[in-house]
Amino acid sequence: MTGTLPLEGLTVLSLEQAVAAPFATRQLADLGARVIKVERPGAGDFARGYDRTVHGESSYFVWLNRGKESVELDIKDPADRAVLDRVVERADVLVQNLLPGAVDRLGLDAATLRARQPDLVHCSISGYGSSGPYRTKKAYDLLVQCETGVLATTGTPADPSKVGFSVADIATGMYAYSGILAALVQRGITGQGATLEVAMIDALGEWMAQPLNHSVYGGGEPRRTGARHASISPYGPFLAGDGSRVFLGVQNDREWAALCRELLGDAALVEDPRFVHNPERVANDALLAPIIEAALAGLTADEVVARLDEIGIACARLRSPAELAAHPQLEARDRWRDVSTPGGTIRAQLPPVTVQGQEPRMGAVPRLGAHNAAIRAEFGPVTEEER
């Protein structure tokens, strides 16, 4: 593939750490933007220390920071601050998720910077927003999952459970990314930048809208149903005759009828008042599992999947993360690329959006301070010629 990437020529300055902001800016880097990542001298983004599982590097950091330039700057040091200010002057986008109030104390807040640079897109990411009683409260992924009701809806009836990946951070990063893109489009029309705020509680709260609606207007507490769906039935894992589980999902009454006739072999279930529509099936979900598993007892999991595919019922096999790395569908579609890290090469998935004629820029993951000399030289003291 060839072609100019959409964000080539744009400079993004990121005062970032952990997951949410780095996830947003990595998307921008994949689209061709120059992303300059400011890190604490000697320590860097604390996500670098989460683990050492990827050639000695953090699995989080290599996921979130490919294609960026790393520069160590002590923002409170006058010389380093001068370098930072010069980068700000040339930046199209500034992204920050420092501790609440930090950018204001440093004079890097949107009001201060955009008074000098009206075309700057300034994006602040926080846990709970810039106002309200929680504005100064620290926020991490699991804690925001708690505050937004995710744990109340995830897990088994006996035990709530966190989502197994950084869902609050990812939701927030994606809204920051899409907000920045929208602001850049608007800037292209009006010439004006924008001041953006994205709070983790708002991002994950949006993703919790359906359970919220169901609880508030349905008059009941959320149901934790393990691997089964709480409001669609049958939708979840069922035991096949070889001891393996197959996940299937019936989305409407037409599919329910097909399942009954073609796989369960019992057309009478279609009009059974306990199962006739989805609300009835959900209410009687515990009765459905033994009926379905009795019909699957004479089939292997592979045979069940083949039959479900044949009759048009969505289904899946349970895979581990390691099995995802060898998923035949991803391999067949050439969805992997090599990415360099300080410890060696890894395989990384292409970004989800494919643009015909363009290859995303999946650049190297930088070691801490890899671009110190180059950035200090480029954005160093003003020369007499520049005055």
Confidence of residue 330 (pLDDT cuts 50, 70, 90): very high
Greatest Cα-to-Cα distance within the chain, rounded to the nearest angstrom? 89
| Contact in structure between 44 and 368 (CB atoms under 8 Å) | yes
pLDDT in tens, 3-27: 689 999 999 999 999 999 999 999 9
Q: Give pLDDT, residue 53.
A: 95
One of 3.30.1540.10, 3.50.50.60, 3.40.50.720, 3.30.1340.30 is the CATH number of 235-318, namely 3.30.1540.10
Average confidence score pLDDT of the chain: 93
Q: How many residues does the chain have?
A: 387
Please state the rounded mean pLDDT for residues 91-95. 98
Alpha-carbon gap, residue 385 to 347, rounded angstroms: 46
- State the architecture of 11-208+328-386 in CATH terms: 3-Layer(aba) Sandwich (3.40)
Tens of pLDDT, residue by residue over 256-296, are: 999 999 999 999 999 999 999 999 999 999 999 999 999 99
Q: Is 256 left (phi over 0), alpha (psi -120 to 50) or beta?
A: alpha
Q: For every residue of 41-58, which 3-state class applies, written as one string?
A: CCCCCHHHHCCCCECCEC
What does residue 231 show for φ and ψ, rounded to 5 degrees? -135, 10
pLDDT tens digits, residue range 20-50?
999 999 999 999 999 999 999 999 999 999 9
Q: In what helix (H) or strand (E) does residue 253 lie, and over which residues does it extend?
A: helix 253-259
Active-site annotation holder among 229, 277, 327, 371: 229
| Domain segments of the chain as ranges | 11-208+328-386, 235-318
- Give the phi and the psi of residue 49 in degrees, each rounded to 5: -100, 10
Question: What mean pLDDT comes out for the span 159-170?
Answer: 93
In single-letter form, the type of residue at position 340 comes to S
Q: Can you give the pLDDT at residue 387?
A: 44
pLDDT on residue 384: 47
Can 277 be counted among the known catalytic residues? no
